Structure 1
C-alpha cells in the first residue's frame, strides 16, 4: 500500500513526498481512512509506529475540505492535547511540515514560557491548537481561547496524560467542547482507566491496535548487567568508553539523579547533559539539539522528559535505574531499534532492583540476558535496600528514587509546578501543570 491509496488530497501527498516517503506505516494505513471517514477512533500504538502522521494527515485534509476557512479570533477548529511541551512542539512541527501547501494556521500552547505571545497568536486566529492541558486551561481562565468551535479533538499519548495526573484537567477541557465533534484517542496501552475515558468521549469508535500490548521493539537487543548500586556510575563510564558509544540515552528515576550522573560523566571526560522537567524550555531544546547533532554524546533523562525525544537510529538506551512500572521499561527501550534499525538496551541492575527486573520480564514474557563485567561483580554481602518513593513526585504512578546509599544521590526536593517523518516513527515524545 502507498500513501496515494489512502484517499489523501494532492496537496498533502505532495508534502509527504517532499519528505521522501511513499509507504505508510501500519498505524497510518489503518487510522487515516477511518479519520477521513469522520469516525471516532481509539488507537493503540507503541512508540516508533508513526502515529502522529496517522492523525495529522487526515486532520489537515478534513479541515481544508470543509470550506470553513475563515479564521476566527480565539476560536480554533481542531485541538490536539499532548502530555508534554516537547510533544506539543513536535506535533506542531508535523502539522507545519505536512500542511505547508494548505492555507491552515496552527500554534503550540504550552507552559514554561510567557503566556502573552500565545494569547496574541490565538487572538489573530488559528485553525489548529496543539496544547498541554495545564496551559490550555490557563488560556481558558483568561478568556484567551474559545473551545466551542472545535470540530476535531485528538488526545495524544492519553495513557501518559492520565499517568501524570491530568485527568481532572482533561475532563474540564472536555466539558468545554461541543458535543458534536470527531474525537481521536491515541494511547500506548488500553488500561481500564483509558477505556473508561474513551467510553465517555468516543461515539461508536473504530478500534486500531498495531502492536501487541507492551511489546518491545523486536530489533532491540536487551541485556542486564548485575552490579552493586555504588558502582553503577563507574560501570556506565566503562561501557561507554570501551564500546565507544557515541550517542546514548540514559534513564534515571529522578531529576536530581539525572543532574548528578551527567555531572559525573562530564568529570570523566564524557560529553553529557541532563534533561528533565526542572530545566527551562530553552535548556531542554538545546540539550535535545546538541544530542541529535552528536555535540553531546550522553543525554541523561527522566521518563517524563524523554517522552519528547524522537531520534532516528538512536543506537543505545541505558536503564541506569529500572522504572517502577514495567510498561515504562517498554517505553524507554522503544526509543531505539526504530524504523527497522537495530538498537541496544542495557540495564544496570543492583540487588535493590531484582523484583523490578522480575516484573519487567513477566511483562515481556521472557528473560533478559544477564551479564557481569569482570571487575564489577556484585558483592554477595550487600543486602537489598528499599527504593523510596519521592515526595512531591506529581505523577500518578509510583516512582522511586535512590537515597544516599544509591550511588550517593540524595532524595530530590519537591519541584515547584511550574515526530517529523510519517514513516519513521512519527512523533512521540510527562506532571506539572506547565509541563
Structure 2
C-alpha cells in the first residue's frame, strides 16, 4: 500500500476520498529519509502539494497515536498568501485530519475576527491563515505559538511577491526553534533560498517541477497580432476554444475593468478580479465561477494568486507576463491534477522577440499559430453542435410537439431553426487584421493611383523598436480613422518611420490624431512635409507609391506632435 506508513486513520481518510496512488510530490514527501526533517519543496501548482504537506506533518503531530487529544494551543501553523488559498487548505486538511479528531481553524482577512478568536480559544490543533491576519492575532494575544511543532509556508514565492516578507519573519521569529519548517514554492528564486537558509535547519531539497514535466499537461500556443487587435484576439480565442472555464490575465486593474466590460457587452458570462474589489465582491465573483454562472474570469496577476478553480481549461495572456516565473504562475491555473489545459499568449508584433525569449527562459515550447478567424470559429461551432445533439429517449409531450412541428415544416427547416437559435446565444467573433502589408506590387511607371499628390508623416520609432508594417498599419488606421488603402509608402529606418498619406486625406488624418492622442502614449506621429530626406537604411512596403526626393535639406516643420499611439 502506498500510504501504509501513515497512521491508519489518515490512510482511511485518503481511501475515502479515492486516493489510490500518491502524486510525485506526495511520494517524495513520504520517503523514509524525509522523516522529521525540514523540507524545501519545489512543486507545480495543482500537483497535490496541500495533501503532501498534510501527510508530511502526520508523523510529527500524531506520533504513535491514532487520535488527537484536546489542544490548548496550536500544534501546526500553515501560512498561505491569499484568503482563497487558505480556505482551500483548511477544507483539505479538515477531511484529511477530521476523522482523527483534529480541529482545523482559519485566520484570514475579511472574516469575523471575534469568531476566529473563539475558535482559537476553544482549541485548534492546526491553524491556517494569511500573514497579515496571523500577525494581527499574534498582537492581540489570541494566537499562541509556543507549542507549535510544524510551520508550513505554502506558495512562499507568491507571499514574497505580495510583500509579506516582514509579516512572515515576525511570525517565524516567535515560533519554537525546534519546530519543523516545511517551505513549498513553485519556484526557488534567490529570496526564497535566503529565507530557507535563515529559518530552516539542514533542509532537504525536493524538486518535482522538472522543466518538461511541469508543463506536460498544458498545451502552449502563441499568437502574434497587431496591437490594435488584442481585444479582438481575446474574443476569438474564447469563442474558438469554448472552455468550461477560462482565465484571462491583464497587467493592470484598469485593463481588467475595460476588458471585462467589453466581454460582458459582447455576451460573455464573465467576472473580474482585481485589487479594487471588496472582499465581498471577490467572493461573489469566485462563487459565480465555481457554480458555472460565469465562464470567464479576467484578472490581474496579484488578484489571481492562490485561486483554485475547478475545470479551468484555458488561460489567456492578454498582456505578456513580466518574467518567466509569472508566466509559469499564470499558466499553472490550468492543467492541474492531471487534467489537460491550454495556454494562449497574445503577442503584439513588436514584442514577439521578447515573448520568444521569455518562453525559452521558462523552458516552454509554444506553437506559433494564427489567430482564430471567423471561419475557424464557425467551423468549431458546427462541430460542437453536431457532437452535442444526440438522439435519446424523449418525453411523450416533447414528441407530441415534435410531430406537430413536422406537420407544419420540413425536417430541414426545423433543424435550421434550431441551429439558428443555438448560434444566437453565442457572442459574435471579431474580424481581425489579416497581418502583413498589402502585397500588391509597386507600379513600375510612377506612383500608385491616388498617391500622385501626398503628404509625408513621421513616427519616432524604427527598427530599433521592432517597427513593422504589420502593426504600424492597423495602428495608423485606428488612430487616424483611415483604411490601409489610404497609406502609401512606408519607410522604416533605424529610429524613425516615414509614411505617405494622400493630400486630400491628410488634414482629416491629422485632426483624428489630435482627437485620439493620449497623455501616456509613447509613439509620436508628426507631419514631415512634402519631401523629407530619405530614411537611412529604410525599407518600403511592396505597394508604396512615389519616391521622396533624395537631395536637399529636410523641410522644417512644427515639433508639436499630432498624436501618440496608444
Please state if 1:381 is matched with 2:472. yes
Please state if 1:157 is matched with 2:155. yes
After TM superposition, the structure 1 = structure 2 runs for residues 289-368 of structure 1, keeping only pairs within 5 Å, are 289-351=287-349, 353-354=351-352, 356-365=354-363, 368=366
Q: CA deviation at 1:405?
A: 6.1
Correspondence for 1:258: 256
Please state if 1:229 is matched with 2:320. no
Correspondence for 1:412: none
In 2, distance between residues paired with 1:356 and 1:149?
50
Are the equivalent residues in 1 in contact too, given 2:289–2:309 (CA < 8 A)? Answer: no
| Matched position secondary structure for 1:146 | coil
| Aligned CA distance change for structure 1 residues 299 and 117 (closer, same or farther; 3 Å) | same
Query: Scaled by the length of structure 1, what TM-score is found?
Result: 0.81
In 1, distance between residues paired with 2:32 and 2:349?
48
After TM superposition, the structure 1 = structure 2 runs for residues 169-248 of structure 1, keeping only pairs within 5 Å, are 169-212=167-210, 216-248=214-246
Correspondence for 2:385: none
| Matched position secondary structure for 1:3 | coil
Deviations 1:45-82 (A, max 9, x none): 1112111111112324532337672321xx31111111
Residue number among 81, 84, 109 corresponding to 1:83 in the alignment: 81
After TM superposition, the structure 1 = structure 2 runs for residues 86-101 of structure 1, keeping only pairs within 5 Å, are 86-101=84-99
In 2, distance between residues paired with 1:9 and 1:357?
49
Deviations 1:218-241 (A, max 9, x none): 122211122233322222112323
Please state if 1:119 is matched with 2:117. yes
Correspondence for 1:392: none
Are the equivalent residues in 2 in contact too, given 1:64–1:104 (CA < 8 A)? Answer: no
In 1, distance between residues paired with 2:520 and 2:212?
33
Correspondence for 1:69: 69
| Matched position secondary structure for 1:274 | strand
Q: CA deviation at 1:135?
A: 1.0
Correspondence for 2:449: none
In 1, distance between residues paired with 2:278 and 2:195?
32
Q: CA deviation at 1:136?
A: 0.8
Relative CO higher for 1 or 2, CA cutoff 8 Å, sep ≥ 6?
1
| Matched position secondary structure for 2:3 | helix
| Matched position secondary structure for 2:115 | helix
| Matched position secondary structure for 2:99 | coil
In 1, distance between residues paired with 2:315 and 2:63?
43
Are the equivalent residues in 1 in contact too, given 2:158–2:305 (CA < 8 A)? Answer: no
| Aligned CA distance change for structure 1 residues 292 and 352 (closer, same or farther; 3 Å) | farther
Deviations 1:88-142 (A, max 9, x none): 1111111111112111111111112332221221122211111111111111112
Correspondence for 2:104: 106
Q: CA deviation at 1:260?
A: 2.1
Are the equivalent residues in 2 in contact too, given 1:225–1:349 (CA < 8 A)? Answer: yes
In 1, distance between residues paired with 2:18 and 2:520?
50
Correspondence for 2:3: 4
- Which deviates the most, 214-223 or 145-154? 214-223
Correspondence for 1:429: none
| Aligned CA distance change for structure 1 residues 241 and 104 (closer, same or farther; 3 Å) | same
Are the equivalent residues in 1 in contact too, given 2:263–2:270 (CA < 8 A)? Answer: yes
Correspondence for 1:55: 53
| Matched position secondary structure for 1:139 | helix
After TM superposition, the structure 1 = structure 2 runs for residues 263-302 of structure 1, keeping only pairs within 5 Å, are 263-302=261-300
Deviations 1:359-387 (A, max 9, x none): 3222134653223335334543268xxxx
Q: CA deviation at 1:312?
A: 4.6
After TM superposition, the structure 1 = structure 2 runs for residues 15-26 of structure 1, keeping only pairs within 5 Å, are 15-26=13-24
**What is the alpha-carbon root mean square deviation over aligned residues?**
2.6
In 1, distance between residues paired with 2:351 and 2:282?
29
| Aligned CA distance change for structure 1 residues 113 and 166 (closer, same or farther; 3 Å) | same
| Aligned CA distance change for structure 1 residues 352 and 116 (closer, same or farther; 3 Å) | farther
In 1, distance between residues paired with 2:339 and 2:210?
19
In 2, distance between residues paired with 1:282 and 1:107?
21
In 2, distance between residues paired with 1:35 and 1:278?
46
Are the equivalent residues in 2 in contact too, given 1:274–1:301 (CA < 8 A)? Answer: yes
Residue number among 115, 132, 135 corresponding to 1:134 in the alignment: 132
Q: CA deviation at 1:404?
A: 6.5
Deviations 1:190-247 (A, max 9, x none): 2222111111211122221112259641122211122233322222112323443442
- The structure having more radius of gyration, on CA atoms, is 2
In 1, distance between residues paired with 2:519 and 2:318?
15
In 2, distance between residues paired with 1:279 and 1:61?
41
- Alignment size in residue pairs: 385
| Matched position secondary structure for 2:78 | strand
| Aligned CA distance change for structure 1 residues 245 and 175 (closer, same or farther; 3 Å) | closer
Are the equivalent residues in 2 in contact too, given 1:258–1:301 (CA < 8 A)? Answer: yes
- Which runs of no fewer than 5 residues in structure 1 stay unpaired? 384-401, 407-435
